[in-house]
Amino acid sequence: MRRPLARRPADPVLEALEHAADRGRLAPSVHNTQPWTFVMHPDRLELRADRSRQLAVLDPDGRELVQSGGAALLNVRAALAGRHLVADVARLPDPGDPDLLAVVRAVEGTPDPALAPLDRVADRRHTNRRPFEPATVPDEDLDRLTGLSQPRARCWCRCAAAPTVTSSRS
């Protein structure tokens, strides 16, 4: 008679990292290419650029690829915060390996309270390919968005109106 395999005690850090990788894959990316891979280790999660998904014509320098990786990293951080863990993030930790975008470790501490709610809605995000409306965003909404972004953003460029172009033809 065979005995069932003994189940190992659950490792909450590893489970949290697996959840974080699942949430990271849901992140928005340039033309929905998801140009990243996650490498799971028992104590950390690596976020790596996947150059095979880089858009050579649209993004020859890989800038949008890295920005897409940043969106995946945000989802990873939110997922860990949702599990009451802090993401200890080393960004671009190895100058000799530019495809290693980040190494994330789940550590105890007080996570950013703004991140956990993002985890609860990560699976609701979807691509919207509808055209933009011609309406202008009200100033009070722009002010509110600016205020919300300030703690995290290094730079916020606000375009209040399109420039007027004139032509002087003879």
Indicate the pTM of the whole model.
Answer: 0.75
Query: Is residue 14 very low, low, confident or very high in pLDDT (cuts 50, 70, 90)?
Result: very high
Answer for the pair 36, 101: CB distance below 8 angstroms, yes or no. yes
pLDDT at 6 (0 to 100): 56
Angle between helix 12-24 and helix 63-82 axes, rounded to 10 deg? 140
Domain extent listing, the chain: 12-124
Domain spanning 12-124, CATH class: alpha beta
CA 99/CA 51 separation, integer angstroms: 8
- What does the pLDDT look like over 130-166, one tens digit per residue? 888 888 889 898 888 877 766 655 555 556 565 566 6
CA 35/CA 140 separation, integer angstroms: 35
pLDDT at 53 (0 to 100): 96
Answer for the pair 18, 45: CB distance below 8 angstroms, yes or no. no
Q: Which helix (H) or strand (E) holds 45?
A: strand 45-49
Q: Which helix (H) or strand (E) holds 136?
A: none
- What does the pLDDT look like over 21-80, one tens digit per residue? 999 999 999 999 999 999 999 999 999 999 999 999 999 999 999 999 999 999 999 999
Neighbours of 52 (CB within 10 A): 8
pLDDT at 41 (0 to 100): 95
